[in-house]
A = this chain, B = another copy of it.
């Protein structure tokens, strides 16, 4: 017997909700108030029925004969994704990629704030006067606990990735955005998203070969 759970949403639907949100934000900044599933789906690169099906997982938001209210739908999605409030994140590994992500404006615009960075070498890449503090790995646990951070961006070399992941999990991190080429093994309650740039290029490469 199942007890009442909030219905399980397909991960792909969640991904597309983020895409829809960006399209809606652009529509809104262009002063558009109402949008049809056809127009919004077009902007997001999906079929209209897919968009409507995705939305039904969360309720009914449209007006038949008219379409969707841009502002209302934006609000629904950002509530859903938790983007309405600023979310703290930590970053581990202040190498090339880590440094780039620290200077990347995109995160803040989308509701994420990198509150602290960590590296084995505290003085690494500190050339520019950056506001994000860089700590040694020994302070990891303390900072995470005190700031209540739940997500980490992992930009350490593959050789260090699993070890750092273990430390993160131990300190209560529940989500890891993993840029290292290593496959992490973590407990079930921890979620890992892998972003592997070399694999993405390899994939492109395959499909171009034909």
Q: How large is the interface on A (under 10, 10 to 19, 20 to 34, 35 or more residues)?
A: 35 or more
The answer, yes or no, to whether A99 is at the interface (CB within 8 Å) is yes
Which A residues form the contact surface with B (CB < 8 A)? 6, 11, 14-15, 17-19, 21-23, 43-45, 80-83, 87, 89, 96-97, 99-101, 103-107, 109-112, 150-151, 153, 174-177, 181, 183, 185, 191, 193, 195-210
State in angstroms the CA–CA spacing of A45 and B192 once bound together.
12
Which 7 A-B pairs give the minimum distances between C-beta atoms? Answer: A100-B100, A110-B198, A175-B204, A18-B199, A96-B103, A18-B202, A82-B205
Q: A107-B197, A197-B195 are in contact. Are A203 and B18 (CB under 8 A)?
A: yes
Chain B residues contacting A23 (CB-CB under 8 Å) are 183
State in angstroms the CA–CA spacing of A176 and B105 once bound together.
22
Copies of this protein chain in the complex: 2
21 contacts between A and B (CB under 8 A): A6-B210, A14-B203, A17-B206, A18-B198, A18-B199, A18-B203, A22-B199, A43-B183, A45-B185, A81-B202, A82-B208, A96-B100, A96-B105, A97-B104, A100-B100, A100-B101, A104-B197, A175-B205, A177-B200, A191-B204, A193-B204
State in angstroms the CA–CA spacing of A202 and B96 once bound together.
23
Contact of B200 with A193 in the complex, beta carbons under 8 Å? yes
Contact of B195 with A200 in the complex, beta carbons under 8 Å? yes
Chain B residues contacting A204 (CB-CB under 8 Å) are 151, 175-177, 191, 193
